[in-house]
Amino acid sequence: MKTYLAKIDEVERKWYVVDAEDKILGRLAVEIATILRGRHKPTYTPHVDTGDFVIVINADKVKLSGNKDRDKKYQFYSGYMGGQSERTAADIRQTKPTFMVEAAVRGMMPKNTLARGQWKKLKVYAGAEHPHEAQQPATLEL
């Protein structure tokens, strides 16, 4: 029996909606990264983008376990001397609520050209509304 290798033009992509309300951030990010890469499909091929689109809603209501809301730090660097700054997860949640989900998923993707293309299939929204109704996304329970 020959090993099946997916071709780029044979890949069928689906759209999924994930509600992040009251979900733990890390566990949610693992499942989203799996779907973006296509590892949930039997036709998964490591060198071909076989993943699906994921729409995450209610990203501002994602949970962090323990005291991570005040203890977890996100570091930013401007590129200049002394340009490093830190912000807590609670501060990030107030100013840019989609950043925590995007950063967690990006951290669980491989660091290569293929994954950068796969990461673009992630759409994150802070509220319960999204503009992708025309794609008829299926609800995904995680």
pLDDT in tens, 72-114: 999 999 999 999 999 999 999 999 999 999 999 999 999 999 9
Residue of 136, 133, 138 lying closest to 18 (CA atoms): 138
Answer whether residue 30 is part of any domain.
Answer: yes
CA distance 71 to 115: 29
In a domain, 33, yes or no: yes
Task: Judge if pTM exceeds 0.85.
Answer: yes
How far apart, in whole angstroms, are the C-alpha atoms of residue 54 and residue 140? 9
Domain that holds residue 46: 12-52+61-93+104-139
As a whole number of angstroms, the distance between CA 20 and CA 119 comes to: 18
Please state, in angstroms and rounded to a whole number, the distance separating the CA atoms of residues 98 and 123.
10
- Domain count along the chain: 1
Burial zone of 20 (CB within 10 Å; 0-12 exposed, 13-18 middle, 19+ buried): buried
Tell me if 3 is assigned to some domain: no
Residue 142: is its pLDDT beyond 90?
no
In a domain, 4, yes or no: no
Q: Is the pLDDT of residue 120 over 90?
A: yes
CATH number, domain containing residue 120: 3.90.1180.10
Report if residue 99 sits inside a domain.
no
Residue 38 lies in a domain: yes
Per DSSP, the chain holds a count of helices (H) and strands (E) of 5, 6
- The answer to whether residue 32 sits within a structural domain is yes
Cα–Cα dist 109/119, whole Å: 8
Residue 84 falls inside a structural domain: yes
Task: Look at residue 118 in the predicted model and tell me its pLDDT.
Answer: 96
